[in-house]
């Protein structure tokens, strides 16, 4: 006989998922009702309105895709890109690479604007690519690159794209709820996110939003969308506004209760307050790391508060440290990816994980383990430095 699965209670300070608060976990356990039940349909309308708030948009087409962030990415590309199109893809980490993959699998051409891992998207390079490719239709970029902890200037990239008659697809999986993001004000045309990062909901849903210009493009496609499940023309029949809801797929009912609860929590805290909390806690963690002697990968002005990539002390086996954190402290932090594998740790302060107690746990646990491994760090200074920043 197989036993029930009972995971350890961890503190999640990696690149996602983040800690899911008890309020959201208990929302998941509420009774499952039909996905066309009028009560459920009313809740869906509230989820749409709350997502509009989180994205800062009036876009009618603002819904959660019933699948993780990568499906939100695919939803944007598969609906907006047709074979033969030219798409400018900014790549400065893992997720830009996946955008390129999406474009090419759709039979379109990806023009790559490449920047070093850990640096923001270079506006001059984007402008040059737009000048060199007057037939480009879309500019796609990652707002908050979780693989490195860098934030790119979404508003400026959107402005450039529009000057050259391109629309924009923006990855906001890690930025939504954690740092400033204003879909309408910045002129973002299509955007996708995820639930398990700064919304601190369970993984498996992907909020997306499309403006009128993007919807026009979808409606005027020459070919049908190359995915039945993600075809927004069909999805809208279920999530759409006034029309009578028709069965498209069975919505993940309980996961949507959880998303609803996470967005209610966000609204209660206030979006700007959530951004400010992420910033403040980042500064406290940073004070601790820097006192200890660890360095940030990203220059100060481009750092994401919710994803802190820091260097590893000389001679330390970083994987040993991570597994000791997990086994001895129930604490998860992230490894470096791709070009940064083995060179950095990625410490997330996302959503409910962005709390003073997590910062103090992480710094003290890391200090204890690194001291035990005789690593060259400054001992006894990280906690006071973080404490001082937290008390500000």
Ligand X SMILES: *Cc1c(COP(=O)(O)O)cnc(C)c1O
Q: Residues in the site for ligand X, rule: CB under 6 A?
A: 16, 68-70, 95, 142, 146, 171, 173-174, 194, 203
- Minimum CB separation of residue 341 from ligand X in Å reads 16
Nearest residue (CB) to ligand X, 147 versus 358: 147
Nearest residue (CB) to ligand X, 275 versus 375: 275
- Minimum CB separation of residue 140 from ligand X in Å reads 12
Nearest residue (CB) to ligand X, 68 versus 293: 68
d(C-alpha 144, C-alpha 150), whole Å: 6
Q: Is 201 helix (H, G, I), strand (E, B) or coil?
A: coil
Burial class (CB in 10 A: 0-12, 13-18, 19+), 327: exposed
Nearest residue (CB) to ligand X, 173 versus 217: 173
Phi, psi of 44 (to 5 degrees): -60, -40
- Minimum CB separation of residue 173 from ligand X in Å reads 4
Closest CA to 200 of 353, 44, 28, 346: 353
d(C-alpha 174, C-alpha 144), whole Å: 6
69 in Cβ contact with 206 (< 8 Å): yes
- Minimum CB separation of residue 16 from ligand X in Å reads 5
Sign of CA dihedral 148, 153, 154, 158: negative
d(C-alpha 178, C-alpha 184), whole Å: 17
Nearest residue (CB) to ligand X, 307 versus 365: 307
- Minimum CB separation of residue 114 from ligand X in Å reads 17
Sign of CA dihedral 190, 196, 199, 202: positive
* Bridging pattern class, strands 61-65 and 206-210: antiparallel
- Minimum CB separation of residue 191 from ligand X in Å reads 11
Nearest residue (CB) to ligand X, 138 versus 375: 138
d(C-alpha 88, C-alpha 307), whole Å: 26
Phi, psi of 86 (to 5 degrees): -115, 125
Nearest residue (CB) to ligand X, 54 versus 360: 54
- Minimum CB separation of residue 129 from ligand X in Å reads 21
The residues facing 332 across adjacent strands are: 12
Nearest residue to ligand X by CB is 69
- Minimum CB separation of residue 174 from ligand X in Å reads 4
Nearest residue (CB) to ligand X, 58 versus 249: 249
Q: How many CA atoms lie within 13 A of 118 on its CB side?
A: 20
Distances (CA, A) of 72 to 56, 121, 174, 206, 298: 18, 21, 13, 5, 27
Which residues are CB-neighbours of 18 under 8 A, at least 6 positions away?
12, 196, 197, 198, 200, 348, 350, 351, 352, 353, 354
Residue with tokens 């270079």: 122
- Minimum CB separation of residue 169 from ligand X in Å reads 12
Q: Which two tokens stand for residue 83?
A: 């074979």
- Minimum CB separation of residue 218 from ligand X in Å reads 21
Which residues are CB-neighbours of 269 under 8 A, at least 6 positions away?
277
Phi, psi of 237 (to 5 degrees): -65, -25
Nearest residue (CB) to ligand X, 158 versus 390: 158
Nearest residue (CB) to ligand X, 126 versus 304: 304
């Amino acid at each position: 006989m197989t036993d029930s699965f009972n995971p350890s209670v961890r503190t999640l300070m990696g690149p996602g998922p983040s800690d899911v608060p008890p309020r959201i976990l208990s929302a998941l356990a509420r009774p499952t009702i039909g996905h066309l039940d009028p009560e459920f349909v009313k809740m869906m309308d509230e989820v749409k309105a709350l997502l509009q708030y989180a994205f800062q948009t009036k876009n009618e087409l603002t819904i959660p895709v019933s699948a993780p962030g990568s499906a939100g990415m695919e939803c944007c590309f598969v609906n907006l890109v047709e074979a033969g199109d030219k798409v400018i893809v900014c790549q400065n980490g893992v997720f830009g690479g996946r955008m390129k993959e999406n474009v090419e699998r759709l039979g379109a051409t990806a023009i790559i604007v490449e920047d070093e891992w850990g640096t923001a998207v270079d506006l001059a390079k984007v402008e040059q690519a737009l000048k060199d490719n007057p037939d480009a239709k879309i500019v796609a970029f990652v707002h908050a690159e979780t693989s490195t902890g860098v934030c790119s200037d979404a508003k400026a990239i959107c402005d450039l794209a529009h000057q050259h008659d391109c629309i924009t697809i923006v990855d906001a999986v890690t930025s939504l709820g954690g740092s400033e993001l204003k879909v309408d004000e910045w002129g973002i045309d299509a955007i996708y996110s995820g639930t398990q990062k700064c919304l601190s909901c369970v993984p498996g849903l992907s909020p997306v939003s499309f403006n009128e210009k993007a919807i026009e493009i979808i409606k005027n496609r020459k070919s049908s969308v190359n995915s039945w499940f993600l075809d927004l023309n069909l999805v809208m029949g279920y999530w759409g506004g006034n029309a009578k809801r028709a069965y498209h797929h069975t919505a993940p009912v309980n996961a949507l209760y959880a998303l609803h609860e996470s967005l209610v929590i966000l609204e209660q805290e206030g979006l700007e307050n959530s951004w400010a909390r992420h910033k403040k806690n980042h500064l406290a963690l940073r004070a601790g790391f820097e006192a200890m002697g660890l360095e940030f990968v990203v220059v100060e002005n481009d750092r994401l508060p919710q994803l802190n990539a820091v260097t590893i002390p000389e001679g330390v086996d970083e994987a040993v440290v991570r597994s000791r954190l997990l086994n001895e402290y129930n604490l998860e932090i992230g490894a470096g990816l791709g070009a940064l594998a083995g060179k950095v740790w990625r410490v997330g302060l996302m959503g409910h994980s962005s709390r003073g107690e997590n910062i103090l746990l992480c710094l003290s646990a890391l200090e204890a383990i690194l001291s035990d491994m005789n690593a060259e760090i400054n001992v006894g200074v990280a906690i006071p430095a973080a404490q001082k920043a937290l008390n500000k």
